[in-house]
Structure 1
Amino acid sequence: MFETNVDATYAWLGLALVSVATAGVAATLPASPPPDVSGVAHTIDSVADGPHPSRAEHGLAASRIRLTERSVALRSDGGTGTASLHGPKITPVLARQTERNRTDGSGGLRRVLDGVPPSAAFDDPTAFAAAADRARDADAEWKPAPDRLAVRRVHYGSVHVTLVG
């Protein structure tokens, strides 16, 4: 009457192993989803595709960002998301203005992104175009992500540039 059934012991051991395995899998899942990179790419493309100068902002829920002239990537604790950009090439402007940036023109690009007219930040459209080319040619690195990403389409003479930062 008080005998231990061998089958019940195996069933309890199997249940214990499945429980431990399930807990292990649940512990490795990220606590949050990856960042919404498709919304950011849509915002960038909608400004870049426009025929007129315009500006937009998009909130970011990411810790790191990487911009190239044709893609955007966001990283957080939930993972990494990448999206291709389908509009014209963008000009990444992520670094804050420093002495180095003032000499290569990206400090002026930051000022233009923040709202200053390009004619106030650059001597002529050629200097503006050269600064944008240098910014696009720079190596894309992971950088700390801001709370909001700004996108600005700017025309200066015959130069049309979409700044993102």
Structure 2
Amino acid sequence: MFDTAVESTYVWLALAVVGAGVLGLALRVPTAPPPDATSVARTVDSVASSPHEATARHPIDARQIRLGSHRLGLRGPGGDAHASFAYGPVVPAKGGDGDRLDAVLHGVPPDRAFASRARFERALNRSRTRDPSWQPAPDGLVVRRVTWGEVNATLVGE
């Protein structure tokens, strides 16, 4: 009558294992939300879809950024967030011709930064096809849609 049932030991052991699992899961939950990549992509899309030349700035609250021609990734203390551009491909304004593309991004007309339309177009294509990698995130992104003759591009950078 006062003897311990064998099944109760297994029940307590199972409850201890489940409790430890729930505690471990609770400790792994991030304390902050992931960065908002969707709002950044919406800003890029709003400039890219403009029928006229346009410029916009968007603040970034992340530690790292991966900017490709079709996708954007942000990494922060709350995890990673990714978003695709609806109006792509865009041109990351960094890399081989990054200084000239960066100058165009910040307001220099493309015909002053590049010797010809063909060189401008080659620089755009090289930057579009470069594999993106994680970089330290800037405080904000600048987005600019430029046109030079038949060459249209949406530049994105710091």
- 1:150 corresponds in structure 2 to 142
Aligned length: 153
Tell me if structure 1 keeps the 8 A contact 2:35–2:61. yes
Q: CA deviation at 1:113?
A: 0.9
Supply the distance in 2 between the matched residues of 1:85 and 1:158 (Cα, whole angstroms): 22
Match 2:129 to one of 130, 137, 143:
137
Supply the distance in 2 between the matched residues of 1:139 and 1:21 (Cα, whole angstroms): 40
Match 2:155 to one of 141, 146, 163:
163
Supply the distance in 1 between the matched residues of 2:22 and 2:129 (Cα, whole angstroms): 47
1:55-70 mapped onto 2 (5 Å cutoff): 55-70=55-70
Supply the distance in 2 between the matched residues of 1:134 and 1:161 (Cα, whole angstroms): 13
For structure 2, the residue ranges without an aligned partner over 5 or more in a row are none
Supply the distance in 2 between the matched residues of 1:44 and 1:89 (Cα, whole angstroms): 11
1:121-145 per-position Cα deviation (integer Å, ceiling 9, x unaligned): 1112111111000001111111111
Quick one: percent identity of the two aligned structures? 43
TM-score by length of 2: 0.83
Match 2:98 to one of 91, 97, 106:
106
1:39-67 per-position Cα deviation (integer Å, ceiling 9, x unaligned): 01100111001110000011111111112
Supply the distance in 1 between the matched residues of 2:70 and 2:23 (Cα, whole angstroms): 41
Tell me if structure 1 keeps the 8 A contact 2:94–2:101. no
Q: Which of structure 1's runs of 4+ aligned residues deviate more than 3 A? A: 10-23
Q: Are the structure 2 counterparts of residues 94 and 74 from structure 1 closer, same or farther at C-alpha, using a change threshold of 3 Å?
A: farther
TM-score by length of 1: 0.80
1:3-82 mapped onto 2 (5 Å cutoff): 21-82=21-82
Tell me if structure 2 keeps the 8 A contact 1:155–1:161. yes
CA RMSD of aligned residues (A): 2.3
What is the identity, as a one-letter code, of the residue corresponding to 1:126?
Answer: A
What is the identity, as a one-letter code, of the residue corresponding to 1:58?
Answer: H
- 1:92 corresponds in structure 2 to 92
For structure 1, the residue ranges without an aligned partner over 5 or more in a row are 1-5, 96-100
1:84-108 per-position Cα deviation (integer Å, ceiling 9, x unaligned): 111131001245xxxxx3xxx2210
